[in-house]
Amino acid sequence: MKSKLTGLAAGTVSGNPSAGELIKTYPHQTPDESTTIGPIARGDFRDGVHDQVVRSIASGAELLLGGNKIDGPGYFYEPTALADVRPGMAAAFAEEVFGRVAAITVAKDVEDAITLANTSEFGLSGDLWTNDITQATEVPRRLETGGVFINGYPATRPFPSWLRARMGLANR
């Protein structure tokens, strides 16, 4: 799984896919149609993501890919993958990361996965990837989250937030 994830991320191109009015507002952003990942909204957000990655590595996470700010105009950050992320670990497990960071935590089994998911104090949404129809219907009922997406994630659909999540319909 690690190699598949890092292979997918390695093929991304950071840049600005937009043109037109956006370029008039932000002339330092040159449009690039080959872009697959855009910038983070602000410099302080990018610095926060980088700090979370650095603290996660210091706490024992394994850096598989990325982990660096990209020099140049705009607030770009390399797609990053961290493995061996565990409960109690600073940043990647215990905090919301609003950047291009995949934090990989491996569960022993379905019960352990549910326990790990419910350990978080955040609960905006969850994803369940399975070929097992029983799991697809039973596991979401046990997750403390505002919504569970099965075998996909529609990022543009609003849904109720849960616990301390800072987004969603309840916090609009």
- For the stretch 4-39, pLDDT in tens is 666 666 666 666 555 444 445 555 555 566 667 778
The answer as to whether 47 is a domain residue is no
Q: Does residue 112 lie in a domain region? A: yes
- Whole-angstrom CA distances from 142 to 39, 96, 116, 148, 154 are 35, 21, 12, 10, 21
Is residue 114 in a domain?
Answer: yes
pTM exceeding 0.75: no
CB 100 within 8 A of CB 78: yes
| Distant-in-sequence, close-in-space partners of 62: CB < 8 Å, separation ≥ 6 | 82, 83, 84
Q: pLDDT exceeding 90 applies to what percent of the chain?
A: 33
Range of the domain at 141: 107-153
Residue 116 lies in a domain: yes
In a domain, 48, yes or no: no
Domains contained in the chain, number = 1
Residue at 140 is within a domain: yes
In angstroms, the first-to-last Cα distance of the chain is: 36
What the block records as the tokens of 10 is 């390695």
The amino acid at 143: L
Is the residue at 14 inside a domain?
Answer: no
Cβ partners under 8 Å of residue 119, min gap 6: 87
